[in-house]
Amino acid sequence: MRTNSNGRLEIGGCDVIGLAEKYGTPLYVIDEQTIRNICKDYKSAFSKYEKVKMLYASKALCNTAVSSIVASEGFGFDAVSGGEIFTIYKSGADMSKVLFNGNNKSFDEISLALDLGVGRISVDNFFEISLLNELAKSKSVDILLRITPGIECHTHEYIQTGQIDSKFGFDLSQIDEAVELILTECENLTLRGLHAHIGSQIFETKVFSDEIEILVKELARINEKYNLKLDEINIGGGIGVKYTENDCPPSIYETAEKILTSLEKAIEKYKIDPPALILEPGRSIISTSGVTLYTIGSSKQVPNGTKYVAIDGGMADNPRPAMYGADYSAFIVNKEEISLQKVTIAGRFCESGDILIKNINLPNPEEGDILCVLNTGAYNYSMASNYNRVQKPAMVLVNNSQSDIIEIRETLEDLISHDVIPDRLKK
């Protein structure tokens, strides 16, 4: 964001207040250039290792416009559902650069992935290995084996994925059984490598070193035991972002240096050929690319207590504070930061837990003010709901002083479009 010549804030060259007036609130705003810049930073940071494949983790934010942008920057995709796969396909992306990931892929989802030519499927359990081999029929399907490396990162327990007791992947003690099943009974599956993911919103780069050590060691062990030369490791994503002033995530370049140095040492230690290195950044690409605009409505001063300021959105368009205790930064767009008072931003939904930001200092918030919440590109729209039968917000893409709708605001008719009243209930 920056201030224009009239002293008003802009994002992507578009006046922020003007966006709220034109499209209404709540409004998701995505800055295209920020997405592209971060994608370029990733490619630059890892450029000294030739065998790098970048996959955008679609679960952070998946629609056809965003998919089209990241694909044009040379990224593939990590998809976790049939819906994400279909969205990526409709964006015109190269489906051979898509990895299908997830712990309980359905028959229909696997069939769709095979029909659309998804390039890799990360298998998560023994049932899925057998199901995929059956559905593949005469096709040859390239797969990765997802493992849980036994690494716990210091983040919220709901976004840890690499610890031993996890719903995702094969325990290290199960790898041999899985490899033997693939080699002896699955003629349609070609095992290409190992896949691990240790969590999300990670600030400590050492965990990536530990993960790489485990993956490379397993490649060497599998090669020695089965004469099977695997040539890919997927270390997932999870690089943290700065939501508040208290957050100090490492830069993409710092993280890349740690990962590549660790990989070089592990390759030398275990005497293997350099494998392809696959990464799955999601939040770190899209989070800082987005803001959400709200209009302030009512307020309430509890005697000798909290002042609540309510907005026209909340936990249905951003469930992360209620689910994870996530923190955000925000400011009032149409006022200068003077005469600040401590308030709590409350959502409009019928839940006491619908609190967006606690104890934030804002300049005399009043009805009609526009509140801008920063860093909302990831896991806001993608986790949004119609709780209380409230319509999902619109989303606009901004760049070079131009704004374009990329998600249409839902209407009341949209809310009931899939409702059906059985004939026996009709009078």
Question: Closest by alpha carbon to 145, among 79, 223, 230?
Answer: 230
Q: Cα(215)–Cα(200) distance, rounded to whole angstroms?
A: 19
Question: pTM of the full predicted structure?
Answer: 0.93
CATH number of 32-285: 3.20.20.10
User: Could you give phi then psi for residue 402, rounded to 5 degrees?
Assistant: -115, 140
Active site annotation includes 350: yes
Domain 2-24+290-376+378-416 has CATH 2.40.37.10: yes
How far is Cα 59 from Cα 213, in angstroms, rounded to an integer?
27
Could you tell me the end-to-end alpha-carbon distance of the chain, in angstroms, rounded to an integer? 56
Average of pLDDT values for 204-219?
94
Range with the poorest average pLDDT among 151-155, 192-196, 199-203? 151-155
Contact 106, 82 (CB under 8 A): yes
Alpha-carbon distance 38 to 27, whole Å?
Answer: 23
> What's residue 168's pLDDT?
77
Q: Which one is catalytic: 14, 153, 186, 350?
A: 350
Q: 208-222, 237-251, 340-354: which range is least confident on average? A: 237-251
Domain boundaries, the chain: 2-24+290-376+378-416, 32-285
Q: Do domains 2-24+290-376+378-416 and 32-285 have the same CATH topology?
A: no
- Classify 228 as helix, strand or coil: coil
- Count of CB atoms situated within 10 Å of the CB of 369: 19
pLDDT tens per residue across span 94-153: 999 999 999 999 999 999 999 999 999 999 999 999 999 999 988 899 999 999 988 865
**Which residues on adjacent β-strands are paired with residue 342?**
361
Inform me whether the pLDDT recorded for 164 exceeds 50. yes
Other residues' Cβ atoms within 10 Å of the Cβ of residue 251:
12
Higher pLDDT, 27 or 150: 27
